[in-house]
Structure 1
Amino acid sequence: MDELKLVVASPFKKKATSSLSIKDFEFALSFDLKWMAPDLASKVRDKAISSRLLRLEGDRLIPSFAVDKIEIPHGFRPSGNVFAEKSPIEELITMISAKSGKSEKETIAGINTLQERFGDLVDIEIAALILAKEKGCDIEGIYQKVYDKFMDND
């Protein structure tokens, strides 16, 4: 299970709700759960939105996955890894998984299958972009990162 998804699900499970205000989400991470300082809670919120685990509707945060299906392990506390930047492929896998409702393992298999269909003539990130687009993901934010990665290799 993706650690960020566990962190994002926790405030919703704790409050038994399907949406939270930004303030309530950050307050839950900082003060209710005592996991992080408020500025880090804001970073987690931004990362969850950019990873498509949360969407912002008005002033409400809404998970893009079934929170009730998430099991938070007893004694769970996020590691420092939750604040680390994800690579473009990791972001795409998270995005596709959230949109399709499939596990990350199933998503990776789908990306690999698509790459094989192209005879391995495209890089894994390109196959992931194509699959994300096919699944209806908003790839605008990640497209530039993938583009930059390949332009830097020239």
Structure 2
Amino acid sequence: MSDLIYSVSVPFKRKGKEVLKESEFILVLAIDLNWFNPEEAKNILNHAQRAGLVKRDGEIVTPAFDISSVEIPPGFRPGSDILLKNLEKKTLFDRIIERIIAGTGMEKRKVISLINKKQEELSKLVEIEVSAILVALEHGVAVNDLLEEEYEALVSPR
């Protein structure tokens, strides 16, 4: 799993709650754990929302995946490059993979293997992102918000 998924999971696990206020989430990452400064912690939260890992309703933050399926490695601390990685625009394919990992708890290698298998089943007649979306849907992972983006990519000239 990625540092982002672990970093998002820790505040919920640490507080023992399934719902946190935005300020609680940020304080755990910035003050309790001293992993980030408050602005960086807010950036992590924003990226997690864009990646579909959390949902926000006003000040309320809820995970968009089963937190109990995430096992934080002992001594985990996010790599110093997590902020740089999160500032880069991830491809649609990467974001779908990240969602499948978060939603199922599968390792990245297994997810990619399933996507490749789906691609072969479809005789490579569709884009790899479509195969990834199908794998996500087969595993009950919500990707509805990404469908429009994929549709636009399919109909626009490359």
- Report the TM-score range of the alignment, normalised by the length of the smaller protein: 0.7 to 0.9
Letter in 2 for 1:78: G
Work out which of the residue numbers 84, 90, 103 in structure 2 matches 1:86.
Answer: 90
Distance in 2 of aligned mates of 1:90 and 1:37: 27
CA RMSD, 1 decimal: 2.6
Structure 1 stretches of 5 or more lacking a match? none
Kept in 1: contact 2:69–2:105 (CA 8 A): no
**Alpha-carbon distance change, 135 to 43 in structure 1, aligned in 2, over 3 angstroms:** same
2:70 is the alignment partner of 1:66: no
Distance in 2 of aligned mates of 1:75 and 1:3: 9
Q: 1:1-150 counterparts in 2 under 5 A?
A: 1-56=1-56, 59-63=59-63, 64-67=65-68, 69-74=70-75, 76-82=77-83, 83=86, 84-150=88-154
**Alpha-carbon distance change, 36 to 85 in structure 1, aligned in 2, over 3 angstroms:** farther
Q: Percent identity?
A: 26
Cα distance, 1:152 vs. partner?
A: 4.7
Kept in 1: contact 2:119–2:131 (CA 8 A): yes
Cα distance, 1:81 vs. partner?
A: 3.2
Distance in 2 of aligned mates of 1:79 and 1:85: 18
Give the number of equivalent residue pairs.
153
Cα distance, 1:67 vs. partner?
A: 4.1
Cα distance, 1:62 vs. partner?
A: 2.7
